[in-house]
Amino acid sequence: MSKKTIVVCDHIHQDGLDILANDSEIELINAADEPKDLLVSSIIPLADVVITRSSTDVDEAFLLAAKKVTAVVRAGVGVDNVDIEGASKQGIVIMNVPTANTIAAVELTMAHMLSCARQFPYAHNNLKLDRVWRRQDWYGTELKDKKLGIIGFGNIGSRVGKRAKAFEMDVLAYDPYIDASKASDFDIGYTKNFDDILACDIITIHTPKNAETVGMIGSDEIAKMKDGVILINCARGGLYDEDALLAGLTSGKIAMAGIDVFNKEPATDHPLLDLDTVIVTPHLGANTKESQRNIAIQAAEGAVAAAKGIAYPNALNLPIKENELPDFVRPYLELIQKIGHLSAQVTKSAVKSIKVMATGPIAEHLESMATFATVGVLTESVGDQINYVNAEFVAQERGIEISKEVKPNHSGFTNKVGIKLTTTNGTISIAGTVFDDTQQRIIEIDEYTLDVEPKGTMVFFRNTDTPGVIGDVGRIMAENGLNISDFRLGRASNKQALAVVRIDGQVKKALLEELAALKACISVSHATL
């Protein structure tokens, strides 16, 4: 059998290179030191599988050169520099290494927490650089008996909680996408009320970066916090509103902040760097020798498995060559994933079961639709660790039941797809179809019939069907500076109505509170696609 060529585009740990070099079925090309233009023009065309890091963009030029490439392994978690959609259309599997740096990120979080509590970096500089011995300047605070609020209780957040318990801290977790038992198993408190987290002495965040979590700690949330709170972010830049963070630190509301990640990096001239109340590191979450070794080993093993066609561990996409699918299928796969993501955002609670339904010829592809639907649902809680290959396994680990049903066609539509999502907060059913081959539409939400394009920021307002409601909703939107780009209304036989309002701008908590205060309001929620 001829050897498969694996090209390493960026520097990885030697142990990963050794795995590739010692495999008799693999031809290794280590191109980490090659100029990027030469790499793309002359070396990538030779590759069957490629290993990259952040220094190599898998962009249009890369993909044009990747004539033989079947898989790209991103040695790390983030795939911001990878054109996943373009790779999918070309039949290239994109894989990453999502858990190799877990412990490194956990321990960095604890380091920032301790540094903020005891101001070690400043005491160190005062003695070593200034040669000043002033113990009285460096009175810190103890972690023992302090209340730690953890936002996001996944692989990293749960391990931070476990270590905080060893410091005898009182730990409280907030994560609407997990079952409360996951926290109680660690003897850690669990809350669904975000204000409980804002009342903690120290707050650390460990969520994916998405439309819901960007800026989730802003000026309103900081105003509710204790005076002297300590904030930690070793997850993703932008989860804290950096302007609000700066204002809170400047005013003294926030005593200290430990920041490893920024919204725009490198952040060498960021105003937070001017404050003595900020401990910063330059995105070191994965920067340990052990983490780099683990990343390299897992990336190399994944690349070898992909090259040999054995498996595609941690694949982030499903390689779909459009000429191998009927033309009408792809829009439905995209639609069912959007419906899944939408339903998870609207419910914002731990998922119990996902039922995927189809009517018409599209039902022949029900298995694929179930995979896409599950990815859509779990993306909201799992982020970039969910993919088309591991979706079923992740669902099983979380105790989520996935079922599929082919329904008789009584709808009048040639094809129709839908999801019934059951969570700890109840159930929601959403169905949709595709018009004119490409125009995706949501046509049913629970008992309401509508015609909604699944796109942008949407507010879902359920109300008693009484006069004046549409005007009240429009007025509140205007008062909050939001332009309505589309307004769709569905009515039910029980004298209730559902409005789906697409807006230009972001949904803030104050808007939801004003809508919820309307007398006719039954419920209000929002989602962004």
Candidates 414, 420, 364, 371; CA nearest to 393 is 371
DSSP state of 163: H
Is 283 a residue of the active site? Answer: yes
Sign of CA dihedral 400, 406, 408, 413: positive
Distance CA 230, CA 246 (A): 13
End-to-end CA distance of the chain: 46
- Quickly tell me which residue has 């070690």 as its tokens: 120
| H helix and E strand count, the chain | 17, 22
How remote is the C-alpha of 276 from its chain's centroid?
Answer: 31
Distance CA 307, CA 310 (A): 8
Cis upstream peptide for 319 (omega within 30°): no
The catalytic residue among 118, 163, 283, 293 is 283
- Quickly tell me which residue has 């039954």 as its tokens: 522
Distance CA 6, CA 44 (A): 9
Distance CA 316, CA 388 (A): 6
Distance CA 362, CA 318 (A): 18
The catalytic residue among 236, 365, 462, 526 is 236
Sign of CA dihedral 290, 296, 299, 304: negative
Is 265 a residue of the active site? Answer: yes
Q: In Å, how far are 47, 144, 170, 261, 437 from 254, measured between CA atoms?
A: 51, 19, 20, 18, 53
Residue 445 near residue 339 (C-beta atoms within 8 A): no
How remote is the C-alpha of 504 from its chain's centroid?
Answer: 22
DSSP codes, 416-436? EEEEEEEETTEEEEEEEEEET
Residues taking part in catalysis = 236, 265, 283
